[in-house]
Amino acid sequence: MSITRRRFLQQSGMTAAALMFQHPARRQPAPPVKPVLDPNTLAQFVDPLPIPEIARASEFRPSPANSKVKIPYYRLPMRQIESKVHRDVKPTLLWGFGSSSPGPTLETQSGTGMLVEWANELPKTHFLPIDHSLHGAEPDKPEVRGVVHLHGAKVPAESDGYPGNCYVPGKSALYYYPNEQDAALLWYHDHALGINRLNVFAGLFGLCIVRDSEEDALNLPSGKYEIPLVLYDRMFDQEGQLYYPVAAPPRSPWVPEFFGNAILANGRIFPFLEVEPRKYRFRTLNAANTRFLRLSLSNGQIFHQIGTDQGLLPAPVPLKQLMLAPAERADLVLDFSDYAGEQVVLKNGVLPVMQFRVARAKVTDTSSLPSALRPVPKIAESEAVKTRTLTLGELDDTKEDPVNMLLNNTHWSMPVTENPTLNSVEIWSLMNLTEDSHPIHLHLVRFQILDRRLFDAFAYLNRGILRYRGDPIPPDPNEAGWKDTVRAEPGMITRIIARFEGYVGRYVWHCHILEHEDNEMMRPYDVIAAR
């Protein structure tokens, strides 16, 4: 995030104003009680990249939408597990689904519904530092609670995993996913109110791949040449146990962000993957709490992004570097055919994440990287019946109290203010008054990015004047598809356009920096029936 801050200063030339954004109460984590593990002391590329298993339906049950149709039923229990994050690190206590973190990958075809029973089989005590001053995590609430949201799913509200609907060990929720949406990489993760950052940090997440015939017909690399890649950062103590920092005030340990010194790929530090000299498809997710990833390959080779959060882009976008905010997905094609016998390292910034060992022997690659993928028809701005200007801000209560991160200056518990009508189109103008980039996620819907535009946040904060400082900037080519999470950059107004289709009911929109989300940067919203 320091990069975005620096870039903001460079772009805006607003040093004086930016100083104002320097939050007086921005907390630094207290020094760790025990020394943390330095990943630089670990041997690199000694563990194979784990591939999460594909979830298997245990039975078929009548669909809630049509009792004559039987659909797969899965049971995925949240459990405390132990897992090796590296050959030379002792097993780490984690929370996962079934026996792994990331949990098993759900795989489904568009239009084929599925039932998932998310069972809470966790212990009754949490092993990470709960802040009982945060909304939803008050001392009278059970320590361990969970509720699962399938990120990117177009789903009835009762199956969306509303944060307030979290439940305790011994309980479960049966959710119905119609999967009536385009092929895309979704992901499931805990969404419990007030402790979401800790539950996800503990390991409660996994992937869900929706496929469809249109995508299948493209002949993209598939089978063993299609690899899920879940990337996130963590910190460990010398015993190999997760370390989550705390702020100095003992009664409010919440920290405004988490940056770990170790990057994990599918649960391993510095793994390797043996590949053939041919094309591969990597279904990539940034599952970090806070960290933005800046991915590239050590040999400088170009790779192609073919899809974004909600599926295929109109055409492949060649990239040398990819920025991925928390919760964003990138569907990537890497072609190793020119690198037989070589080793290629996937890097985040300058640091290694994992290694590809390209085999020497030539192979025949029958897969394709088509020049046209799937059209993404633009939603016309003229279709919008409403434009909402929504601020992203920080609030400093008093000297001692935690900073709140607020959407539209409203707290989680205040009455709903965003209430789009079913099937209507709206433009949401996200006005970022902070010094951070916030990845904003809307549940239920997919949207398109219209543009980003620098504005004078200082004038807005002090005098309520909206003054632009530049022309609208169109989204990057690799953002010009269907999205469900967007980087709202500091000092900018980011405009998105969405059709609120699917279902009426209560959903949420929030910042996907989980530390922010847990501290008020989340709001309920209602999709209401047309009159």
Instruction: Single out the residue of 409, 428, 514 nearest to residue 198, CA to CA.
Output: 514
Q: Rounded to an integer, what distance in angstroms lies between the CA atom of residue 420 and that of residue 423?
A: 8
Question: Quick one: tokens of 283?
Answer: 């279904």
Q: Which span sits near Cu ion by CB under 5 A: 63-71, 79-87, 330-338, 515-523? A: 515-523
Contact between residue 246 and residue 333 where contact means Cβ atoms under 8 Å apart: no
Q: Is the peptide bond before 102 cis (omega within 30 degrees of 0)?
A: yes
Shortest distance, position 513 Cβ to Cu ion, whole Å:
4
Binding mask 213-232 for Cu ion (x = CB under 5 A): --------------------
How far apart are the two ends of the chain, measured CA to CA in Å? Answer: 44
Amino acid identity, residue 256? P
Shortest distance, position 496 Cβ to Cu ion, whole Å:
16
Shortest distance, position 433 Cβ to Cu ion, whole Å:
12
The site that binds Cu ion (CB under 5 A) totals a number of residues, namely 4
Q: Judged by CB, which is closer to Cu ion: 454, or 514?
A: 514
Residues sharing a CB contact under 8 Å with residue 364, sequence separation 6 or more, in sequence order = none
Q: Judged by CB, which is closer to Cu ion: 106, or 407?
A: 407
Partner residues linked to 494 by β-bridges: 430, 452
Residue 85 touches Cu ion, criterion: CB under 5 A: no
Shortest distance, position 457 Cβ to Cu ion, whole Å:
15
Residue 516 touches Cu ion, criterion: CB under 5 A: yes
Q: Which span sits near Cu ion by CB under 5 A: 152-160, 168-176, 341-349, 432-440? A: 432-440
Q: Judged by CB, which is closer to Cu ion: 197, or 516?
A: 516
Taking only Cα atoms into account, the Rg of the chain, rounded to an integer number of angstroms, comes to 22
Q: Judged by CB, which is closer to Cu ion: 5, or 75?
A: 5
Q: Rounded to an integer, what distance in angstroms lies between the CA atom of residue 307 and that of residue 59?
A: 32
Residue 197 touches Cu ion, criterion: CB under 5 A: no
- CA distances in angstroms from 352 to 6, 45, 294, listed in the order given: 23, 10, 11
Dihedral sign, Cα of residue 477, residue 482, residue 486, residue 488: positive
Contact between residue 322 and residue 375 where contact means Cβ atoms under 8 Å apart: no
Shortest distance, position 344 Cβ to Cu ion, whole Å:
33
List binders of Cu ion among 438-457 (CB under 5 A).
438
Binding mask 474-513 for Cu ion (x = CB under 5 A): -------------------------------------x-x
Question: Quick one: tokens of 211?
Answer: 């496929």
Q: Which span sits near Cu ion by CB under 5 A: 47-55, 266-274, 305-313, 430-438? A: 430-438
Q: Rounded to an integer, what distance in angstroms lies between the CA atom of residue 151 and that of residue 207?
A: 9
Shortest distance, position 407 Cβ to Cu ion, whole Å:
9
Q: Judged by CB, which is closer to Cu ion: 324, or 358?
A: 324
Q: Judged by CB, which is closer to Cu ion: 76, or 403?
A: 403
Q: Rounded to an integer, what distance in angstroms lies between the CA atom of residue 460 and that of residue 503?
A: 36
Q: Kindly list the residues in this chain that would bind Cu ion in the complex (CB under 5 A).
A: 438, 511, 513, 516
